[in-house]
Chain A
Amino acid sequence: MATLGTSLKVGIFLGVRQLKRASRWTTGLIVFIMTLTFLNLVVVSGILIGLIVGGNNANREQYTGDVIMTTLSGKPDIAKSQDIIATMKADNTVADYSYRFLSGGAVEANYKTRSDFNTKADTAATQLAGIDPIREDNFSNISKYVIEGDYLDPNESGYVVLGANLLRRFSSSFGDGFDSLDGTYPGDKVKITVNGKTQEFTVKGIVKSKVGEVSIRAFITEGDFLRLTDRGSLNVNEIALRHTAQITDDESKAIFVKNGFDQFTKIQTATEAIPDFLNQIKLAFGVLGNMIGAIGIVVASITIFIVIFINAVTRRKFIGIMKGIGVSSLAIQISYLLQSFFYAVLGSLLGTIILYGVLVPLVAKHPINFPFSDGILVAEPSGTLIRIILLLIVTLIAGFIPARMIVRKNTLDSILGR
């Protein structure tokens, strides 16, 4: 019997030459199919997961930062807010932070043109946010999302930036159950009412983001907020921070827990602040992506099976001759396995280059515009590697089966083509 080493040597000798001298068009077509299969395997699940991850990233960038502190349930604000802020200023692991005063309120528009006082006033419920405009913009780049008018100027008073979802022209898809304002453009006057106290503001700009907390709020300067709400203390309702690269979210959170601030505020990492249903959706999308990928794998395995089968059937006579002159069945099978392996490796390699060289940067630069998030393409190298290995295994099996079927035929029948 031929040794495994000899069969391997001869199998590689035959396989390499069959690949070298095969039709370039056929090889190109098979590799193209393998590349598409690989991309289908990685990209479909990557986009589905990226839909959620893109939303989470935006949430982190524009709202929560890496760690967010919010008001404890039943409390009006974060007690000892200024102590927390002082701690953050002193802590060199905190790269940036912002704080927000929050209060429920209502915005009324079009009251100057209202002629029939029997009809309902044009109002919308909102969460009024009092911010330090420069600090908030440095933290969350909120000014980048101002789509009409301008962002708040810290030196001005009496201006408001409205979240786009407060306006009917941007939120018609939410239906009638959600009160929103007609018209309302930068320069228009609106009334903001908090705890029964009303003040007129000029709309400075409209901010539109896929982060709900940004698009549903009305932003005014912290000075205007304190005057309007008569808040007696400087205790805020939200503090968001971004830590340096040296520590993790959990380590950053731990610093404030260790200082005992968790008695006064709910401290969460950005991941913890993600609603659980979003994590469930992410999981479901992952499963869905894998199911679609599995169909791609089946298609790829059938493709390889057919390619190798047709190749082996049309070369059945030569397989018979090789067996006739003493080439072991294993060597012939190895030559076909090598071809399958080549197709899968080259397809995966090209797919990986397209994935990381083109698709991931392209989608990162131009996110996919989903209604509730800017979807990115999530392709973790470890996940990609697992998919490459999976594709290789499936392809090898798909190549081995037809090769074995043909090699097991009677030698003389193969030679004589009967």
Chain B
Amino acid sequence: MIQVKNITKEFQNGDVLTQVLKGVSLEINSGEFVAIMGKSGAGKSTLMYQMSLLDHPTSGSIMVDNQEVTMLSHDERTKFRLDNLGYIFQDYALVPELTAVENIMVPLLMQEKSESEAKKIAIASLEKIGLAHRENNLPSQLSGGEQQRVSIARAVAHNPKILFADEPTANLDSESSKAVIDIFRSLHAAGQTIVMVTHEPEYTVYCDRVITLSDGKIIAQ
């Protein structure tokens, strides 16, 4: 599903050149639930941003579903993300002016679904995560755990090939975190490929594989 070959990522900050990823290579298979772990500054989020096409690597290549994606244009990357990838951010990243159901509808509308069709799918997604009764609530009217569950519903409603989650439980209490991980487990059970960056080892027990990064390199997988 994902083949990463010898990618590097450098950041120029004034005269200082920082190499965050130092020739990382890995493969993630279809249907795998992979955790990326490491200390702060190890490069785990940076690695996820490269694989999820939110950023460009300085060098190396990334194949997603047999397609070389590092050379795609800005618009092509946007379209590729829409069609193939789903995202869950640490801080939920719901659009504040949109209700729960509307947040989920946005990528579906971009996929040229009609408003009624998008709404139907969005409500079904909310039902799956037990938040159908919150469909008309704005993010500000939802708890952190509920917002993250809506964020998951938005990420999977359009059936992405790969789901990327960047520390999805970092801002949640243990109960909400467990609810989020339970959703991931059920998605994984249904065959969803999931790549999750996390600090919390207790949740990696549900993963097929744990990739550990240190100082921009993979030290274990």
Residues of B within 8 A of A (CB): 49, 54-55, 74-76, 78-79, 81-83, 86-87, 89, 93, 95-98, 102, 105-107, 109-112, 115, 138, 154-155
Q: Take A1-B79, A318-B96 as given contacts and tell me if A325 and B106 are in contact as well, using a CB distance cutoff of 8 Å.
A: yes
Please indicate the chain B residues that have their CB under 8 angstroms from the CB of A325 in the complex.
81-82, 86-87, 106-107, 154-155
Q: Which residue of A lies closest to B93 (CB)?
A: A321
**Extra 15 A-B pairs, beta carbons < 8 Å, given A14-B106, A18-B97, A329-B74:** A1-B75, A1-B79, A2-B78, A10-B110, A14-B98, A17-B97, A17-B102, A21-B97, A324-B87, A324-B93, A325-B81, A325-B82, A325-B86, A326-B110, A327-B82
The proximity string for A residues 321-348 relative to B, scoring 1 for CB distances below 8 Å and 0 otherwise, is 1111111110100000000000000000
A410 to B75, CA, bound (A): 12
Please indicate the chain B residues that have their CB under 8 angstroms from the CB of A20 in the complex.
97
Please indicate the chain A residues that have their CB under 8 angstroms from the CB of B76 in the complex.
1
Contact B78 A323 (CB under 8 A): yes
How far in angstroms is the closest Cβ of chain B from A320? 9
Please indicate the chain A residues that have their CB under 8 angstroms from the CB of B49 in the complex.
412
How far in angstroms is the closest Cβ of chain A from B95? 5
Q: Take A13-B115, A18-B97, A328-B75 as given contacts and tell me if A321 and B89 are in contact as well, using a CB distance cutoff of 8 Å.
A: yes
Contact A321 B95 (CB under 8 A): yes
Contact A6 B112 (CB under 8 A): yes
Let me know if A22 is at the binding interface, CB within 8 A.
yes
Cβ-neighbour of A22 out of B82, B97, B105 (below 8 A) = B97
Q: Take A326-B78, A328-B78, A415-B54 as given contacts and tell me if A6 and B110 are in contact as well, using a CB distance cutoff of 8 Å.
A: yes
The proximity string for A residues 17-32 relative to B, scoring 1 for CB distances below 8 Å and 0 otherwise, is 1101110000000000
A350 to B36, CA, bound (A): 57
Instruction: Count contacts on A: residues with CB < 8 A to the other chain.
Output: 29
Q: Take A324-B81, A325-B82 as given contacts and tell me if A331 and B110 are in contact as well, using a CB distance cutoff of 8 Å.
A: yes
Q: Which residue of A lies closest to B102 (CB)?
A: A17
Residues of A within 8 A of B (CB): 1-3, 6, 9-10, 13-14, 17-18, 20-22, 317-318, 321-329, 331, 410-412, 415
Of the A-B pairs whose beta carbons lie under 8 Å apart in the complex, a sample of 23, sorted by A's number, is: A1-B76, A2-B79, A2-B110, A2-B112, A3-B112, A13-B102, A14-B97, A22-B97, A321-B87, A322-B106, A323-B78, A324-B54, A325-B106, A325-B107, A326-B78, A326-B82, A326-B111, A327-B78, A328-B78, A328-B110, A329-B78, A412-B55, A415-B93
Question: Which of A6, A321, A411 has its CB near the most chain B CB atoms (within 10 A)?
Answer: A321
Q: Which residue of A lies closest to B84 (CB)?
A: A326
The secondary structure that dominates the B interface is: helix
A387 to B112, CA, bound (A): 37
Q: Which residue of A lies closest to B114 (CB)?
A: A9
Please indicate the chain B residues that have their CB under 8 angstroms from the CB of A324 in the complex.
54, 81, 87, 93
Top 6 closest pairs, chain A to chain B, by CB: A326-B82, A21-B97, A321-B93, A412-B54, A412-B55, A18-B97
How far in angstroms is the closest Cβ of chain B from A229? 84
How far in angstroms is the closest Cβ of chain A from B89? 7
Q: Which residue of B lies closest to A408 (CB)?
A: B74
Q: Which residue of B lies closest to A330 (CB)?
A: B75
How far in angstroms is the closest Cβ of chain B from A6? 5
Question: Which of A323, A324, A410 has its CB near the most chain B CB atoms (within 10 A)?
Answer: A324
How far in angstroms is the closest Cβ of chain A from B94? 8
Q: Which residue of B lies closest to A2 (CB)?
A: B110
Please indicate the chain B residues that have their CB under 8 angstroms from the CB of A321 in the complex.
87, 89, 93, 95
Contact A9 B93 (CB under 8 A): no
A2 to B108, CA, bound (A): 12
Contact B106 A21 (CB under 8 A): no
A317 to B90, CA, bound (A): 13
Please indicate the chain B residues that have their CB under 8 angstroms from the CB of A14 in the complex.
95, 97-98, 106
A392 to B46, CA, bound (A): 43
A411 to B80, CA, bound (A): 14
Cβ-neighbour of B93 out of A1, A3, A18, A318 (below 8 A) = A318
How far in angstroms is the closest Cβ of chain A from B49? 6
A10 to B75, CA, bound (A): 16
Cβ-neighbour of A411 out of B54, B89, B97, B107 (below 8 A) = B54
Contact A13 B97 (CB under 8 A): no
Question: Which of B49, B54, B82 has its CB near the most chain A CB atoms (within 10 A)?
Answer: B54
Please indicate the chain A residues that have their CB under 8 angstroms from the CB of B155 in the complex.
325
Contact A21 B109 (CB under 8 A): no
Please indicate the chain B residues that have their CB under 8 angstroms from the CB of A21 in the complex.
97, 138
Contact A327 B102 (CB under 8 A): no
A176 to B137, CA, bound (A): 80
Please indicate the chain B residues that have their CB under 8 angstroms from the CB of A6 in the complex.
109-110, 112
Please indicate the chain B residues that have their CB under 8 angstroms from the CB of A13 in the complex.
102, 105-106, 109, 115
